[in-house]
A = this chain, B = another copy of it.
């Protein structure tokens, strides 16, 4: 990674050996209309500059449908639940209603802030109906004075550490979540500012942030983020305000120098992923959400400062995540105990924690790395987590949520409308509402298409020339994408189209002529550099296959099993879709012919996969736990057709056994002839049916 620097002020690292890095020059006051989910236009190390949400218009399609549910169902019901559980009253109590009793765990403030952030992004975006936008806007406007009234003159703001508990403020930073709540307040304030230009909520956050910055630091009182989150928020606050003190405080947080002054325990440091120098980390460990928020913040910090030690650490940790510690769904966090990472290759399916928040954090981190580098491998991970491990977190109805997202389950009830620790629901909501801001990004030399979705971009090249980009696709059900490129006037620039690593093939036509980009390969951006005229037509055809996928044999839980993947979607078996075969007795024949079937009636409209399998004649529940291989090989199996649905749609009917990783029948690996009636095949033909034509068809024809 080349370290890019720009003229501006400098930030000094380390207390003993001062090393100063030039940092980005931000304007004193930014233009809220230009700012995306993260605002990188002045971040000199950023290769990509996310567009503002209002520049993107979503057409009908996969994410439009999810966002509509979020706006119309999730946000209203969640606000109601926050009210019912006293989360808003916790503020009202401090705003002239002392008769109210504080309710919920000490971090409930953050849940309201996250809801407000989600609502703000909805307000910022084009899709919601005017009535919905106005309602959400009005609700935020109602909440702000309540929150403001709960803020103390000093700037301190937290509904838990008040009254008798005020003396406990900042006395137990590893567990108090005061830092975490402030982080979410700032992010909500920034979102609302970027949606409306209104600084009212942002100012509340700034006052509390100023209180922290003024009172804590190397020569002041010691601080540590017990639940990292504030780091990201501080860097974004710096990007929004141009105030270097916030970036400097983020640096202080990452410096991890307060171990002694705060008497931090090793176990807490490990759990928090905080409290030691960030650049001393060599692997992901501890609480998964804490760790991924920390690395997201550190990526933000690096994007502004270019301190190479950070990039080295970030690379190491990203490799650790993607090579050893991430579920195929993009979910993260193997262990229920401590909601934590497991050891390398410890990825149990049924015992998986894979908290929805951790998958959201995975999207956030990879979005930052993608923006930093323009490297499509980060978009691959982002897309994997978004379509699967995040997407499973909210029901199709928009009112039930997964906290854990296991990859196998024995009819566990996975979804609930509310959790006492209600961090996940508004986290999915804020991501979904901000999603248009993830699809496109600008660079100095052109425009990047990160995610495929029926949508239109209406923004400008970095040279100021207006650019409209219309994208038509039925992604992720189809791999065909049509783009109409319309610069305001004929212009030279590069259109970067992502070739996802899951696609074996990618074919491009420009104005109906085949086009072969240089250096094209899976998992990269295909660069189409030319002089573009308004109305130029680009088609991209991604080879969309049903791919039996295996894990590294080092993952004990997954050896001898396959997961079905089609495009960005991971598939799963739910018991109710299987006739005459019980999960736990089922084996898959991964090389056999897969039939693809679009079921408009099912789960909001999904492509299901029909995969030949075998089932034990006699329930394996009656078989011994251990037996000689020679005896075990005599198990009698009969052929069945297995029906896979997309993983994100789990648990939307009654609780039912579920399984992503299905054992391969040992004696049916494509070389032997099993009595299944159909010959083995490669499963490698692509499916390019247009949405209208999509119907039941074999992928092998």
The residues of A with any CB-CB pair to B shorter than 8 Å are 322-324, 326, 328, 336-337, 342-344, 346, 348-351, 408, 410, 547-563, 584, 587, 590-591, 620-621, 623-630, 632, 661, 663-664, 666-667, 669, 671-672, 682, 684
Contacts and interface: CB of A to CB of B under 8 A. Distances in A.
Among A624, A630, A671, which residue has the most Cβ atoms of chain B within 10 A?
A630
Contacts of A323: 621, 624-625
Contacts of A553: 587, 620, 663
A501 to B, nearest CB: 9
Contact of A552 (B410, B548, B557, B620): B620
Contacts of A336: 337
Contact of A350 (B343, B549, B563): B343
Contacts of A410: 343-344
Contacts of A632: 550
A685 B667 CA distance: 25
A559 to B, nearest CB: 5
B549 A628 contact: yes
A547 B628 contact: yes
B591 A549 contact: no
5 interchain residue pairs of minimum CB distance? A560-B560, A337-B337, A548-B629, A559-B560, A550-B632
B348 A557 contact: yes
A324 B559 contact: no
Given A552-B624, A556-B561, 6 more contacts: A323-B621, A326-B625, A328-B625, A344-B410, A547-B628, A551-B625
A161 B626 CA distance: 46
A338 to B, nearest CB: 9
Contacts of A342: 351
A559 B561 contact: yes
Contact of A328 (B621, B626, B661): B626
A324 B625 contact: yes
Given A628-B548, A666-B669, A408 B326 contact: no
Contacts of A590: 629
Contacts of A560: 559-561, 663-664, 666
Contacts of A343: 350-351, 410
10 contacts: A343-B410, A350-B556, A550-B626, A550-B628, A551-B625, A552-B620, A553-B587, A556-B557, A559-B561, A560-B663
A30 B555 CA distance: 57
A331 to B, nearest CB: 13
A350 to B, nearest CB: 7
A591 B630 CA distance: 9
A559 B562 contact: no
B408 A554 contact: no
A556 B348 contact: yes
A674 B642 CA distance: 32
A628 B683 CA distance: 11
Contact of A550 (B551, B558, B627): B627
Contact of A562 (B554, B558, B625, B629): B629
Contacts of A629: 547-550, 562, 590-591
Given A350-B346, A629-B591, A620 B554 contact: yes
A584 B323 CA distance: 14
Contacts of A624: 323, 552
A671 B668 CA distance: 12
A419 to B, nearest CB: 18
A559 B620 contact: no
A559 B351 contact: no
Nearest to A558: B556
B549 A627 contact: yes
A240 B636 CA distance: 53
Contacts of A548: 628-630
Among A336, A346, A351, which residue has the most Cβ atoms of chain B within 10 A?
A351
Contact of A630 (B328, B663, B682): B682
